[in-house]
A and B are shown apart, each in its own frame.
Chain A
Amino acid sequence: MLCWPLLVALLAFAGGCALIQPVQPWEKGVLAKPEMSFESDRLDSNFTEHTYFSKEAASGGAGVGGGGCGCN
């Protein structure tokens, strides 16, 4: 199930991050904007994820938890 290749990808990504020039706290004004967050509208993402869950075979990836349903 590709577990090891994916884990390697994760570690490689993290390793690559170590080469990045650190951003200082006072340089993070743009990063603090709501649109730079990976979840800016929770109810919107809830609706959207469940809609796709009901119409497609693939799901998940962004996090864990939440309610299931009989959408099979």
Chain B
Amino acid sequence: MADTSSANAGTTPLGMALMAAALALPAVRSAHADSAPERASLAFKWLDYKDSQLGEDRIRVRAPSALLVLPLSGDWAVGGTLTSDAISGASPAYHTTAITPMHDKRNALELNATRYFANGSLTLGSSVSRESDYLSRNLSVQGSLADESKNTTWTAGLALGRDRINPSTQIVTNEHKRSTDVLAGVTQVLGTHDIAQLNVGWSSGSGYFSDPYKAMDERPRGRRHTTLLARWNHHFEASSGTLRSSYRYYTDSFGVKAHTLGLEYVQPLTQGWTVTPLLRLYTQTAANFYVDADASTDPFPPNPPADWAHYTEDQRLSAFGARTLGLKLAKQIDANWNVDVKYERYSQRASWTLEGRGSPGLAPFNARSLQLGVSRQF
């Protein structure tokens, strides 16, 4: 979340929210268990993110991030990521209206330790993320078990999250949010050039889910969601390229249903260069307590129906579709060094939703991000 702002301080709340996310830390660990790393690695990446609506700048994020992976022996490895992001710009108080200045900083640390076995692995992880108004702590355990041939790998994971929320608006104090995530998955070698994965995830949370920096925002104090993720990687012998495809279905207790399709093609070139164009398509329905924009109430937000106990005018819970186009260029300099650059453009439009007509009255939203990375193996 973000810090928000008082006019004097020049901060704004909402903005944070969008922003923080853009940078944060996070870390979603893959559900596919790899074998123990043979070498240590250190990587740095720098992100420059910027979004806008109808030519009006909104949020800008600059975030350096570092990753360390350290094998301790043949059976153990430890690692972690550290991210520090600076967020500035402006964010709407409701729908795409009442753009308010904001700025914030966020620091996040994630640590993990993995024990590798002959046919599996067990990873313990912890993370903490601190903003001026939001503290998030998380513990996780994830295990994998492969069959004798190592062509089939089963994965299971559990994570517990505890968040503490103290917005600068003091609309609430010492609010909390608790979450439990469970994941089960299977990764299957389909052939010498194909590997696929299917994950099913459940999440259940309770506590404060509203956005304290948005006008007209009163959300349920619980949220459950279910995801189904299918991924498939195929290597083309003729071109030496690899197509990485994914599909995710998402549904939650807010009434949101979403589909995400991802495609990227990794093409090695000469002298260690690799180019990867990517496409991502996304569509979601609106939360069942989302209140549509209504220009007739300007300059005030529309009131929700009198009999609604929960309501939101957050653009992120509206019905829309989105598209990402990107290109990544990487260079393997030698056996130890690798550098990369990635550029993406993201566009969000209500009319692109696949179900229904999309939420009316929202300004088109666009974003672009640039990543610069370098990594070294030891």
Complex Cα spacing A3 to B253, Å:
13
Asked if residues B21 and A14 are in contact (CB atoms below 8 Å), the reply is no
Asked if residues B17 and A67 are in contact (CB atoms below 8 Å), the reply is no
Determine whether B122 belongs to the interface, using a CB cutoff of 8 Å to chain A. no
Chain A, residues 18-46, CB within 8 Å of chain B (1/0): the string is: 00111111011011010111110111111
Complex Cα spacing A62 to B266, Å:
20
Question: What's the A-B contact tally at a CB cutoff of 8 Å?
Answer: 307
Answer whether A61 and B2 are a contact pair too, CB < 8 Å, given A9-B198, A71-B17: no
B64 to chain A, nearest CB (A): 10
In chain B, residues 246-267, which have Cβ atoms closer than 8 Å to a Cβ of chain A? 248, 250-254, 256, 258, 260, 266
Asked if residues A14 and B152 are in contact (CB atoms below 8 Å), the reply is yes
Complex Cα spacing A56 to B287, Å:
12
B116 to chain A, nearest CB (A): 16
Answer whether A70 and B159 are a contact pair too, CB < 8 Å, given A1-B251, A47-B45, A50-B26: no
* Nearest A residue to B244, CB-CB: A35
Asked if residues A57 and B182 are in contact (CB atoms below 8 Å), the reply is no
A72 partner residues in chain B, CB cutoff 8 A: 1, 17, 209-211, 314, 316
Number of A interface residues at 8 Å Cβ cutoff, please give it. 57
* Most chain B CB within a 10 A radius of its CB, from A43, A53, A67: A67
Contact residues on B (Cβ < 8 Å of other chain), bracket: 35 or more
Asked if residues B129 and A67 are in contact (CB atoms below 8 Å), the reply is yes
Asked if residues B1 and A71 are in contact (CB atoms below 8 Å), the reply is yes
* Nearest B residue to A72, CB-CB: B211
Asked if residues B26 and A46 are in contact (CB atoms below 8 Å), the reply is yes
A20 partner residues in chain B, CB cutoff 8 A: 151, 188-191
Determine whether B220 belongs to the interface, using a CB cutoff of 8 Å to chain A. no
Asked if residues B284 and A56 are in contact (CB atoms below 8 Å), the reply is yes
A31 to chain B, nearest CB (A): 6
A66 partner residues in chain B, CB cutoff 8 A: 25-29, 110, 125, 127, 138, 140, 159
* Most chain A CB within a 10 A radius of its CB, from B25, B109, B373: B25
Enumerate chain B interface residues (CB-CB to A < 8 A): 1-2, 16-32, 34, 43, 45, 47, 49, 51, 63, 65-67, 81, 83, 106, 108-110, 112, 125, 127-129, 131, 133-134, 136, 138-140, 142, 149-152, 154, 157-159, 161, 163, 165, 177, 179, 181-193, 195-203, 209-211, 224-229, 231, 233, 235, 242, 244, 248, 250-254, 256, 258, 260, 266, 274, 282, 284, 287, 314, 316-317, 322, 328, 340, 342, 346, 348, 365, 367, 369, 371, 373
8 contacts between A and B (CB under 8 A): A6-B200, A17-B188, A44-B328, A58-B252, A60-B225, A64-B159, A68-B138, A70-B20
